[in-house]
Amino acid sequence: MNAQPQQISLFAEIASAYAASTDGVLDNDSLYSTVAERIGTTPEALGTRTPIGRAGVPRSTVKRKIRWYQQTLKQLGIIEHVPGERGVWQLSENAGKDLHRAATGVTLVTFSTDLGIAIWGNHQDVFRQINAPIALCISSPPYPLRKARAYGGPDEREYVDFICGALEPIVRSLIPGGSIVLNLSGDVFEPKKSSRSLYLERLVLALNDRLGLALMDRIPWVNYSKPPAPTYWACVNRVQLTTAYEPIYWFTNDPGRVRSDNRRVLEAHSAQHQRLMALGGEGRLSSYGDGAYRLRPGSFGQVTAGRIPRNVIERGHACSDTAAYRRRAHALGLPTHGAMQPTSIPDFFIRFLTEPGDLVVDPFGGTVKTGLAAERLGRRWLVTEWMLEYLCGAAEMFRGFAGFEMNKVLQNVGSAA
């Protein structure tokens, strides 16, 4: 997949230089010359010094740039100083024990297949540089929870700007009739009150006003395996009911050309409908709703390929991919994700809203379930996630797919555990 932004390359080259060196150890002079060669900079250009800063001290700008990325790798815990050796660094053995968030401006291809690419980085740093035509963005962004998850999240007051900012570059690349699908939370309450926040309503209006998105549907994802919540208002104070659904919002930039097709998501007919089709349909004549609906002899007798799904998705959390991801992340000593979707959620929307070969993106990728569903369905995909360890765990799920490649520098993340 050719969506690799230019900016990724210098960071990746530096990281790869460490990965390619003996035992991952490299002194700075060797680092400079290896990276210079990889990026096509001549030894003369590398040695050229220009006055820098107020004091005008002559320095090599290329070396300075390399050192900046080297420092970033250090901050991320990917490389560490070799004790007692000045200017010598090695791939950190501790990388991957905790969550490492990508620093601003740092983006790195973590793994890729023939169809897709998972990038470690802030979505802003990636999607602003991508102009490939996007057919679908499906995502479960961090919710504005009062008690944020391990990966953090914006608070409710900044939420509308946060989501509009994330979607703006994606909407710019959305093909006519493309879709945006957001899995959000309805369980955000007004401070110290049992009443729900109206942030969802504000968000829908803002996406329409600011980005021109039209609301196609609000689809409840009904999940009876959710733990009982809101704990205080339902279980202690007893004024609310326990939540059994999350709203999924579906938007398009052009309802007149929307690319959805419910024939791609047909379900099996019920036993009763199958009986009717076998009998050639209803035998009675009847009417309902003051004549709005009529049953005639032969109604429901036409043999069709399947049942059109209702706009409610009923799924538990149980998912064999989630279980496999957890097992593999544990085995590698990686922290596991606290808010995964079952793959069946992106799978449904990708089938409904796209065709094979289309590009599907997810700016808040987590464990790359969107990528996994897209890969299996023959769609191209691009996912960003700013916590390195989630991607390293997710990579394990892609090893069998055509063209799988893990970034060399990340191959030992977690393996020391």
Ligand X SMILES: C[S@@+](CC[C@H](N)C(=O)[O-])C[C@H]1O[C@@H](n2cnc3c(N)ncnc32)[C@H](O)[C@@H]1O
Closest CA to 253 of 182, 175, 181: 175
Instruction: Name the segment binding ligand X (CB under 6 A); options: 83-91, 215-223, 360-368, 373-381.
Output: 360-368
Residue facing ligand X at closest CB distance:
366
Q: Which is nearer to ligand X, 369 or 379 (CB)?
A: 369
Is 142 a binder of ligand X (CB under 6 A)?
A: yes
Q: Which is nearer to ligand X, 46 or 108 (CB)?
A: 108
The 108-127 site mask, x for binding ligand X (CB under 6 A), equals --------------xx----
Min separation Cβ 386 and ligand X, Å: 4
Instruction: Please identify which residue in the block is written with the tokens 């060196």.
Output: 21
272-to-282, 284, 311, 314 alpha-carbon distances in Å: 11, 15, 21, 21
Min separation Cβ 152 and ligand X, Å: 7
Q: Are 218 and 183 in contact (CB under 8 A)?
A: no
Q: Which of residues 376-395 bind ligand X (CB under 6 A)?
A: 384-387, 390
Instruction: Name the segment binding ligand X (CB under 6 A); options: 85-93, 233-241, 309-317, 362-370.
Output: 362-370
Q: Report the alpha-carbon distance of residue 283 to residue 270 in Å, rounded.
A: 18
Instruction: Name the segment binding ligand X (CB under 6 A); options: 73-81, 294-302, 306-314, 336-344.
Output: 336-344
Q: Which is nearer to ligand X, 59 or 128 (CB)?
A: 128
Could you say which of 72, 197, 367, 407 contacts ligand X (CB under 6 A)? 367
Min separation Cβ 343 and ligand X, Å: 8
Closest CA to 362 of 212, 223, 179, 219: 179
Q: Report the alpha-carbon distance of residue 367 to residue 337 in Å, rounded.
A: 7
Could you say which of 140, 185, 197, 260 contacts ligand X (CB under 6 A)? 140
Is 100 a binder of ligand X (CB under 6 A)?
A: no
Q: Are 208 and 245 in contact (CB under 8 A)?
A: no
- Say how many residues touch ligand X, by CB under 6 A: 18
CA dihedral 86, 94, 92, 3 (to 10 degrees): -140
Cα of first residue to Cα of last residue in the chain, in angstroms, is 32
Q: Which is nearer to ligand X, 89 or 386 (CB)?
A: 386
Structure tokens at 357: 């070969």
Min separation Cβ 134 and ligand X, Å: 16
Min separation Cβ 183 and ligand X, Å: 7
Structure tokens at 284: 């009675």
Min separation Cβ 196 and ligand X, Å: 19
Q: Which is nearer to ligand X, 123 or 380 (CB)?
A: 123
CA dihedral 69, 102, 129, 353 (to 10 degrees): 150
Sign of CA dihedral 54, 59, 62, 68: negative
Could you say which of 63, 259, 337, 380 contacts ligand X (CB under 6 A)? 337
29-to-45, 74, 234, 347, 386 alpha-carbon distances in Å: 15, 17, 63, 49, 31
Instruction: Name the segment binding ligand X (CB under 6 A); options: 234-242, 247-255, 347-355, 365-373.
Output: 365-373
378-to-7, 360, 401, 402 alpha-carbon distances in Å: 28, 11, 11, 11
Min separation Cβ 317 and ligand X, Å: 10
The residues binding ligand X (CB under 6 A) are: 122-123, 140, 142, 151, 337, 339-341, 364, 366-367, 369, 384-387, 390
